[in-house]
Amino acid sequence: MSKLSHAQWSSRLTFILAATGSAVGLGNIWKFPYMVGDSGGAAFVLIYLLCIALVGLPILVAEWLIGRRGQNNPANAMADLAKSAGQPRIWMIVGISGILGAFLILSFYSVIGGWSLYYTLSSVTGAFSGQDADGIGELFNGMLGNPGLLLLGHSVFMLLVIGIVARGVTKGLEGAVRTLMPALGVLLLVLVGYGMTTGHFGEALGFMFNPDFGALNGGVVLAAMGQAFFTLSLGMGIMMAYGSYLGKEVNLIKTARTVIILDTVVALVAGLAIFPIVFANGLDLDSGPGLIFVTLPLAFGNMGGGVILGLLFFLLLTFAALTSAISLLEPVVEFVEERTPLSRIGSTLVAGAATWALGIAALLAFNVWSDVLILGFNVFDFLDTLTSKYLLPLTGLFAIIFVGWLLDREGVRQELQLGDTGAKIWTLVSRFIAPLGVIAVFVSSL
């Protein structure tokens, strides 16, 4: 149990900002807008929203419910709730798996956060100005091949994350999201405003929102379901940890709906910021993460006002990475704090240092350790594959099974403030639709 009374969010609004900040990450800025444009536009958005309602929302609510009932870190919360439900303590493995997933993800996510910091600085110094494609490519490859530079970026990013999380829920997490989330929104709107001046905003709108139902197939539906699952930070212990700081007065389903709407809006608006620049400069849409770190810098370096625009974009990217990173460290810190004699600051330093150390192995995968393979993957790709394809979906799957099948149905109905019809829908979705959706994504990813 915790050594002190468990911390609480000061308001529902700050909780919504924190949960949305966790959900809004690097994937929202690039991956989701691209998936929309490449997979049927508005038709894909409709499938995505259906998937998020039937899979993402119930698992999000289930993880919050586990955290709020347990008032503890994910491992202890699962153990306590399993005991009260007459189930074996082995269910605490679900919580441990989520914490482990968050720890592993942050180790390599911080490396990418370091890239974003480096590119923010490069924007200020005019490193992109007048460069051709080869020059920008050399900048990116030179960064990856320089372990000292990667270590510096990774270290600075982790220090920022540790500094925020060490201050606790009210001063640290809440203070950060109250600043970063509005700033992220303003930066997005400024970039959309610029996009409207390029003469290609209409093309971007058509690309993203023109429904093409012919583009839909089984693979697209599974991709939409996978994105719905991962965008909400499910299966990482984050939402269980955040739920443990939540008061009983908060309506979980209404709050989940608000977070999902905000997360989706940010992702769509990001597309309206990025794609006018892409179309205006005749850039390659299908360039993966390179769109952010190679293609867009090429455009910024060869357009009027590109220095300012590049700075704004990479600040946006850094803020999005930070809001997700602090949420990834939180469940690890909560676990250490509640299972050891360490204070909040001590727990954050231990958890942060361990994450930073593993991140060194991840960044060396691009240079010194490029020949070191684990099951055919370099260290960075191994950590990414282990978490995204195995730990996260399995953790989310067992969390919704636990809430849907093993917790007292009447108690869950009352806690979720459901009427008779709502309770029947919740039972159907939590017991059958959401678990089968996760299983479909898990099997297809294998």
CA dist., res. 112 & res. 93, Å (int): 29
CA dist., res. 158 & res. 355, Å (int): 8
CA dist., res. 435 & res. 399, Å (int): 9
pLDDT confidence of 428, banded at 50, 70, 90? very high
The enclosing H or E element of 6 equals none
Q: What is the DSSP string of 65-80?
A: HHHHHHTS-HHHHHHH
Task: Kindly compute the dihedral angle of the four CA atoms of residues 111, 112, 118, 123, in this order, to the nearest 10 degrees.
Answer: 180
The enclosing H or E element of 200 equals none
> What is residue 390's three-state secondary structure?
helix
Examine the pLDDT at 5 and tell me if it is beyond 70. no
Q: What is the DSSP letter of 116?
A: H
> What is residue 419's three-state secondary structure?
coil
Quick: pLDDT tens for 273-328. Answer: 888 988 888 877 766 667 788 878 988 888 888 899 999 999 999 999 999 999 99
- Find out whether 295 and 284 touch, Cβ atoms under 8 Å: yes
What value, to the nearest 5°, has the Cα angle with vertex 397 and ends 395 and 399?
Answer: 70
> What is residue 421's three-state secondary structure?
helix
pLDDT value, residue 4:
46
CA dist., res. 90 & res. 97, Å (int): 12
Q: Tell me, what amino acid is at 97?
A: S
pLDDT confidence of 30, banded at 50, 70, 90? confident
pLDDT value, residue 303:
81
pLDDT value, residue 203:
93
309 closest CA partner among 296, 328, 326: 296
- Find out whether 94 and 78 touch, Cβ atoms under 8 Å: yes
Examine the pLDDT at 3 and tell me if it is beyond 50. no
Give me the mean pLDDT over the 126-151 stretch. 92
Examine the pLDDT at 424 and tell me if it is beyond 90. yes
Where b means 16+ CB within 10 Å and e means fewer, 242-271 reads bbbbbeeebebbebbebbbebbbebbbbbb
Structural tokens at position 16? 């919504």
pLDDT value, residue 345:
97
Q: What is the DSSP letter of 88?
A: -
Q: What is the DSSP string of 159-188?
A: HHHHHHHHTHIIIIIIHHHHHHHHHHHHHH
pLDDT value, residue 45:
87
> What is residue 136's three-state secondary structure?
helix
> What is residue 377's three-state secondary structure?
strand
CA distances from 41 to 3, 38, 82, 296 (A): 50, 7, 43, 22
Examine the pLDDT at 236 and tell me if it is beyond 70. yes
pLDDT value, residue 2:
41
Structural tokens at position 208? 């993203």
pLDDT value, residue 289:
64
HEC profile of 318-361: HHHHHHHHHHHHHHHHHHHHHHCCCCHHHHHHHHHHHHHHHHHH
pLDDT value, residue 435:
97
Quick: pLDDT tens for 340-391. Answer: 999 999 999 999 999 999 999 999 999 999 999 999 999 999 999 999 889 9
Examine the pLDDT at 69 and tell me if it is beyond 80. yes
The percentage of residues in the chain with a pLDDT greater than 90, rounded to a whole number, is 71
DSSP alpha helices (H): ranges in 232-343?
238-243, 252-280, 290, 296-300, 306-339
CA distances from 406 to 69, 78, 378 (A): 14, 12, 39
